[in-house]
Amino acid sequence: MDAVLDQPVLVLNRLWQAVNVIAARRAFAILARGHAQVVYNTEDDFRTFGLLDWIDFSAQQPPREARELVRTPTRAIRLPRVILLSVFDRLPRKELKLTRNNVFERDKNTCQYCARVFPRDELNLDHVIPRDFGGRTTWENIVCSCIKCNSRKANRLPHQAGMRLIRKPTRPKWRPVISLVLGHQPHKEWKDFLDLAYWNIELEA
């Protein structure tokens, strides 16, 4: 049961905006306190259920796969994939963390010098202004580079190596959906609430 209860659940505020991803065990605790409802996606609409109604619905329409069920001594309950908070209507203010994978996401796994797309295990992170020149580890100074371009540039400024960036690196604007998607495999039930197209927007040059 522990593995099932560790599965991710998308949290919406009362304006139906995605604000968090939590473990199923925490989602059930919030539902039990009456602070949220389960959102269930039908073919052409959404239905919401309180916990007791969700338990009844689980008995009437059990899922096909066992991993979609939480079993107790007396009943089997469908695992919620999305819950809707009853009172919270704000979006949390956060900074998108500067991590290796987040830079790869921003740069679309594309070397910022030769413009070729590579598997992530064939990419490095490059300081545009090398640290020996006072360059800092910031969104505005870190880019993806392939191994060949990284070796060619070495500890030099791009123009010193006869190279140019294909676009100026910038700090991505934080949106809740970005931090939600990163690190989680989105479920099909999340697709109506996550703007996955965000990472397809070209960064300003």
Q: Indicate if 37 and 12 belong to the same structural domain.
A: yes
Q: Indicate if 87 and 120 belong to the same structural domain.
A: no
Q: Indicate if 20 and 114 belong to the same structural domain.
A: no
Cα 29 vs. chain centroid, distance in angstroms? Answer: 23
**Cα 18 from Cα 16, distance rounded (Å):** 7
Q: Indicate if 152 and 82 belong to the same structural domain.
A: no
Q: Closest Cα partner for 165 from 200, 204, 137?
A: 204
Residue-level pLDDT at 185: 61
- Give the range of the structural domain holding residue 120, as residue numbers without chain letter: 100-161
Q: Indicate if 47 and 148 belong to the same structural domain.
A: no
14 SS3 class: coil
Q: Indicate if 182 and 137 belong to the same structural domain.
A: no
Q: What is the pLDDT of residues 42-75, one digit of tens each?
A: 877 899 999 999 999 999 988 877 778 888 888 8
CATH number for the domain harbouring residue 123: 1.10.30.50
Q: Indicate if 83 and 115 belong to the same structural domain.
A: no
Q: What is the pLDDT of residues 81-126, one digit of tens each?
A: 999 999 876 655 556 778 888 899 889 999 999 999 999 999 999 9
67: phi then psi, degrees, rounded to nearest 5: -70, -5
Whether residue 168 lies inside any domain: the answer is: no
Whether residue 166 lies inside any domain: the answer is: no
Tell me whether strands 142-146 and 69-71 are parallel, antiparallel or unpaired: unpaired
Whether residue 67 lies inside any domain: the answer is: yes
Which string of DSSP letters, residue by residue, matches 52-104? HHHHHHHHHS--SSGGGEEE-SS-EEEPPSEEEESS------------HHHHH
Whether residue 167 lies inside any domain: the answer is: no
* Residue, of 63 and 204, whose pLDDT is higher: 63
Q: Indicate if 84 and 25 belong to the same structural domain.
A: yes
**Cα 176 from Cα 86, distance rounded (Å):** 19
Q: What is the pLDDT of residues 5-50, one digit of tens each?
A: 888 898 988 888 888 888 899 999 999 999 999 999 887 789 999 9
Q: Indicate if 4 and 75 belong to the same structural domain.
A: yes
Q: Indicate if 21 and 88 belong to the same structural domain.
A: yes
Q: Indicate if 29 and 71 belong to the same structural domain.
A: yes
Residue-level pLDDT at 202: 34
Q: What is the pLDDT of residues 176-202, one digit of tens each?
A: 555 555 555 667 788 777 754 343 333
Whether residue 197 lies inside any domain: the answer is: yes
How many structural domains are present in the chain?
Answer: 2
Q: What is the pLDDT of residues 146-171, one digit of tens each?
A: 999 999 999 999 999 999 999 999 98
Whether residue 151 lies inside any domain: the answer is: yes
Q: Indicate if 121 and 65 belong to the same structural domain.
A: no
**Cα 112 from Cα 109, distance rounded (Å):** 9
